[in-house]
């Protein structure tokens, strides 16, 4: 029997959708600055990209504080347990309507493969994007009486790292959009990230709901 469980908190959903918007906007303005197309105009694209970048950094700061203050950072700790079964499910099982090898719970929202991907995203890809973006932004900056700059021979390596990170994020988004449809129903995961409620097995709900979430994690009969 499946029940609706409050699994994604309000800040978690706000962070998810705001981050998604900023990544799309940064990608659009960034590739325009790169010369891939013209939409906002080069000067506007640069200004919009810089503003969105600062907003993204602020969001990251709030997200880090929230994850550590709530203990949600533990959700992203990598594990290799059951990972082979998870890979086989995505490659083969999902197309033969096989049962999902990992049960989602309030205290374990991500399967082993998702943990690895999100961990890499948070500790590798996004830091590379932020650091390279800031280096690129302040490679040359105005000072009284002239221009100052970082002690770098060329901005090209920074740009290459930043562009590589952008392509990595786009690849992640494409896969993420596909995996959204792999829930109990095609719209299950999307609705969960909008409402906070998701259908999970009743046994998992009763065994794993955190004590301080009892009031919010009240189950609703399907």
1-60 pLDDT, tens digit each: 778 899 999 999 999 999 999 999 999 999 999 888 999 999 999 999 999 999 999 999
85-134 pLDDT, tens digit each: 999 998 888 888 888 888 888 888 999 999 999 999 999 999 999 999 98
Closest CA to 165 of 68, 34, 12, 42: 34
Lookup result for tokens 């907003």? 55
104: helix, strand or coil: coil
Contact criterion met (CB below 8 Å) for 199 and 2: yes
């Amino acid at each position: 029997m499946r029940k609706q469980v409050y699994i994604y908190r309000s800040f978690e959903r706000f962070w998810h959708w705001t981050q998604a918007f900023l990544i799309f906007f940064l990608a659009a303005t960034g590739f325009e600055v790169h010369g891939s197309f013209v939409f906002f105009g080069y000067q506007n694209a640069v200004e919009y990209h810089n503003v969105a970048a600062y907003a993204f950094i602020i969001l990251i700061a709030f997200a880090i504080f929230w994850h550590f203050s709530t203990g949600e950072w533990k959700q992203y700790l990598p594990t290799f347990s059951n990972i082979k079964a998870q890979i086989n499910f995505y490659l083969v099982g999902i197309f033969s309507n096989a049962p999902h090898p990992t049960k989602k719970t309030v205290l374990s929202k991500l399967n082993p493969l998702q943990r690895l991907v999100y961990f890499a995203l948070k500790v590798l890809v996004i830091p590379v994007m932020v650091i390279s973006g800031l280096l690129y932004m302040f490679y040359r900056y105005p000072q009284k009486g002239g221009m100052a700059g970082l002690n770098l021979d060329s901005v090209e390596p920074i740009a290459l790292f930043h562009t590589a990170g952008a392509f990595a994020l786009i690849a992640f988004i494409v896969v993420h959009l596909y995996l959204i449809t792999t829930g109990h129903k095609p719209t299950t995961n999307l609705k969960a990230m909008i409402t906070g409620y998701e259908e999970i097995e009743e046994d998992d709900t009763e065994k794993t709901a955190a004590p301080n979430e009892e009031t919010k994690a009240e189950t609703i009969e399907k």
